[in-house]
Amino acid sequence: MSNWKPKRFWKEATVVEADGGYTVQLDGRAVKTPAKAPLIVPTRAMAEAIAAEWQAQEKDVDPRTMPVTRSANAAIDKVTVQKAEVCQMLADYGGHDLLCYRALGPQELVERQVAGWDPVLDWATARLEAPLASGQGVMHVEQPDESLANLAAQFDRLDSFGVAALHDLVTISGSLVLALAVRHRHLSAEEAWALSRIDEEFQIEQWGPDEEAEAAAATKRQAFLDAAGILEMLMNPASRDI
C-alpha cells in the first residue's frame, strides 16, 4: 500500500462567498471535494471552521484532524445524491432505538436506564409527537406507525449537511431520539453521549476499564461532539428546548 500523503502547498486558507453559500480558498484556489465538486457550504460558521482546519495542517495533510471538512465532503458527494435513502436509513433507527431496549438486570442498571432514558422518551412524546414503547431484553419492541412517521418527518427540515451531521449522531449513539434531542437543543452533546453510554459505564464499574475499549470510546466521543458542533454551525441561535 502506498504511504503517499497529500502535502501542504498553500500559505493561507480564506473564506469566500460563493453562489449558494460560502467556500474556502487556498491561496485563491477553491477547495473541492474528493469527487471534484465545488466545496460550498451553507453557513459562514461552517466555512470558517473548514478554513481553520486547512490552515492548521502542517507538512502533511491529515484528514483525521479535519472533521468539518470530512462532513461537508460527505454531504456533497454522498448524501446529496441519495438523500432519501440516507434519511430512511436513519429514520429506521426509531424502530429499534437504544432507549427502548432495557436490561433485565441487575437492578442498579435497570434503575439507571429508567432515570436517564425515560425523561428523553417523555420529551420525544411531547416535543416530537413520537411516543415510543420500551421493553426489557432483546426481543423486538413494536412501535406506533404514527410515531415512526413523525420521527421520519424530522429529516424533512434538514439539508444534506444537516443529514450528514445527524447521521454521525445517530449511528455513533445508536439512538435517533438522542440525536434529535441534541438537534433541538434539549440535550447537550455531552449529556446525550453520557446517556448513550449507560450500559458501557456500568460494565466498566463492575469489571474495570479496558485500555483498547477506552481508546475506541474516546474516538467515538470526539466524533459525536464534532457532529453536534457541525449542527450548531448550521443552525441559527435559539433557546434550548424546555
Region(s) of the chain under CATH 1.10.3580.10: 82-234
CB-CB neighbours of 91 under 10 Å: 18
Give me the chain's average pLDDT, please.
Answer: 94
What architecture is the 82-234 domain classified under in CATH? Orthogonal Bundle (1.10)
Spatial distance between the Cα atoms of 167 and 198, rounded to a whole number of angstroms: 21
Return the pLDDT at 29. Answer: 95
Region(s) of the chain under CATH 3.30.2180.10: 1-65
pLDDT of 2 higher than 90? no
Fold entry, domain 1-65: ATP12-like (3.30.2180)
Spatial distance between the Cα atoms of 192 and 189, rounded to a whole number of angstroms: 5
Is the entire prediction scored with pTM above 0.85? yes
pLDDT of 10 higher than 60? yes
Return the pLDDT at 191. Answer: 98
Tens digits of residue pLDDT in 158-202: 999 999 999 999 999 999 999 999 999 999 999 999 999 999 999
Return the pLDDT at 64. Answer: 92
Span 61-88, average pLDDT? 96
